[in-house]
């Protein structure tokens, strides 16, 4: 009986921490682009450089630089 009284609050705390970590990851953008990293290994090095330059230019345009 004593083990249940200890394990229930501990499990509730662990679930609360897991939920907080999930929402933190979503807010910080961890799940924004799941497909590109998987395909990047298939691209040639030159194409990868070109795409990264295009992405940098797009981000500069969005920031107004």
Classify 34 in phi/psi space as left (phi over 0), alpha (psi -120 to 50) or beta: alpha
d(CA 15, CA 9): 10
pTM: predicted TM-score of the whole model, two decimal places: 0.52
Question: How far apart are the C-alpha atoms of 32 and 15, rounded to whole Å?
Answer: 24
Q: Are 51 and 43 in contact (CB under 8 A)?
A: yes
Tell me which of 50 and 19 has the higher pLDDT: 19
The 10s digit of each residue's pLDDT in 22-55 is: 999 999 988 887 777 777 777 677 776 777 777 7
Q: How high is the pLDDT of residue 9?
A: 95
- Helix, strand or coil, per DSSP, at residue 33: coil
Are the C-beta atoms of 31 and 25 separated by less than 8 Å? yes
């Amino acid at each position: 009986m004593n083990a249940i009284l200890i394990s229930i609050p501990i499990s509730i705390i662990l679930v609360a921490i897991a939920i907080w970590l999930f929402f933190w990851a979503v807010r910080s953008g961890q799940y924004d682009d799941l497909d590109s990293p998987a395909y990047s290994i298939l691209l040639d090095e030159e194409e990868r450089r070109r795409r990264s330059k295009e992405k940098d230019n797009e981000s500069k345009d969005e920031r107004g630089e």
